[in-house]
Amino acid sequence: MKTTGRVRPVSAAERAERARMSGGLPTLEFEREIPYDAYVRTDVLHDLQRPLTDAPGEMSFLVITQVMELYFNLVAHELLAARESLRADRVRDAVAALRRTALHLEAANAGWLGLRWMTPADFNSFRDRLGEASGLQSGMYRLVEFRLGLKSEALLRPFRGGAREEALRRAFDEPSVWDAATALLARRGHDLPAAVLGRDFGAEYEPHEAVERAWVRVYQDDAAADLEGDAVGGDGLRALGDALAEVSERFGDWRYQHVAAVRRAMGAKPGSGGSNGLAWLERSMARVVFPELWSARTYM
């Protein structure tokens, strides 16, 4: 069991004995710091909100941005687990990780609700104090994109020489979740060319008709298994496809909500990070996650 100097593990027997001794009442006195604070690190967490102005809405903007960063961390963690499970042929574990990823993205999407109040006047009341800070500079968001398979060498430039450079470069050069899923299809007997399986994983992904055909076959085989009364429905690849599609949709929702929030708060003004703002985000949103999984539906 993992532990730290701040958190003392407690067994089920100890918890039961404590409840018996207290008559079921919660413990309200502690020799050291409150265990909840020790585990969650609330002393650190609640010291991170330091608005730069007295604008009444800046605290909302700052907290929700920080919450988004935490969700990016969680999503990146789950995507790594999904990829490693795929590489080890543990499809069920990969599907579970992808389903968790979709739920985390759904929760992150709910964060945008807390910014619906923001008009251009509200944002302008503290925007200048942000300087050149921009969400486009989020290293954790880039890590999520790289693990999903959205890669562009230019997006690594802001992180050169920084603390995140090594982790981002590694994720950039390694296979994405989509690359791992494609390799799994090949191991399961789908005919995929070397140009797909041995590609440069750091290059921008180009959809391939062979991958599209493989997913068409996955869903057709699963439908045939259903007609034959096979409750298992084949080799789990249909469940994998559905889980990947859910992640793609929820990530697309997040990008759409981002565009909507920018449009609401600043219209088509230039972005704080030097881009042309809304137009740049709209172009970025056009890059599809797991493209052949969607194009294959035309032929199913």
**Whose structure tokens read 């909507």?**
260
d(CA 129, CA 245): 39
Contact 142, 159 (CB under 8 A): yes
Distance CA 142, CA 229 (A): 44
Q: How far is CA 24 from CA 15, 102, 119, in A?
A: 10, 37, 49
Written as six digits, the tokens of 298 are: 């035309």
Q: Is 127 annotated as a binding residue?
A: yes
- Residue 258 among known ligand-binding residues: yes
Supply 108's token pair. Answer: 């992150």
Q: Would you say 222 and 234 are in contact if contact means Cβ atoms under 8 Å apart?
A: yes
Whether 280 and 271 have beta carbons less than 8 Å apart is answered as yes
- C-alpha 196/C-alpha 210 separation (Å) is 9
Residue 26 per-residue DSSP state: P
Structure tokens at 252: 């697309």
Distances (CA, A) of 104 to 34, 78, 93, 131, 171: 28, 9, 17, 30, 20
CA–CA separation, 146 and 259 (whole Å): 20
Say how far apart CA 61 and CA 115 lie, in whole Å: 7
Q: What is the CA radius of gyration of the chain?
A: 23
Query: Which residues make up each annotated binding site for substrate?
Result: 127
Residue numbers in the known binding site for heme are 258
Binding site, residues? Answer: 127, 258
